[in-house]
Amino acid sequence: MTRAARVLVAAAFFAAFLLLGLGVHRFGEPPAIWAFDRAVVGHGAIVAWRVTQIARAFVLVPLAVALAVAAVLSREWRARIIFSLVMLLLAWRATDFFQRVFARPRRLDWVIYHERSFSYPSSHAAIAVAFFALWAWLLWADAAPRSRRAAAAIVAALALALCWSRLALGAHYATDVAGGALLGATLLAAGAAVWPGITGEARKERA
């Protein structure tokens, strides 16, 4: 895919993100989606609570430090690690910014813990896509051991579980999660346009 195509993909994701945010800001959660939201909340809440902690600062900060150390030690993975950390930071800051822009109140049917920051977009969903799904792709695309393919599948499942956890806890509407995923995808596409070939380096080095 050319750089121009990646820019267009990023623009399309971002446009969808903005349109969805404007829609829910003006009209609220669509009735059919709200019915789904209510059906999911509370199911597996204890597991969801544990899963959702993975995208909290007290987990992500030590993980980022460990990756930074790995970047110093591994020349082969350095660029990809740095790219993933940039995506993580951008996802965190971008969601904080847009939550203030859209100022959507949180749901009131929460379980376990009532989060009081604004709701759209979900920072967990943005991080799930821009960081965890990115790592799933990096591990899967690498031509090395099969164990990395297994790790990629686990990380991909974790990204999906993070999104599910926000619904099970009543912390977000489904449209918040979709918005976060769109924002994360926007960042990845834009990052790939700025830094082309970042996910194919390992294969090129082994070719």
pLDDT of 94 > 60? The answer is: yes
- Give me the mean pLDDT over the 42-63 stretch: 97
Question: What average pLDDT does this structure show over 95-101?
Answer: 98
Cα–Cα separations (whole angstroms), residue 60 to 21, 71, 77: 26, 16, 19
pLDDT for residue 204 is more than 70? no
pLDDT at 144: 65
Alpha-carbon distance of 161 to 128, in angstroms, equals: 9
CA 41 to chain centre: 20
Query: Which pLDDT score, from 0 to 100, does residue 201 have?
Result: 43
Name the nearest CA neighbour of 96 among 11, 180, 165, 171. 180
pLDDT in tens, 105-162: 999 999 999 999 999 999 999 999 999 999 999 998 876 677 788 899 999 999 999 9
Whether the CB-CB separation of 195 and 133 falls below 8 Å is answered with no
pLDDT classification of 199: cutoffs 50, 70, 90: low
200: pLDDT strictly greater than 60: no
pLDDT given at position 72: 96
Look-up of token digits 């051991």: 145
Enter the pTM of the model. Answer: 0.92
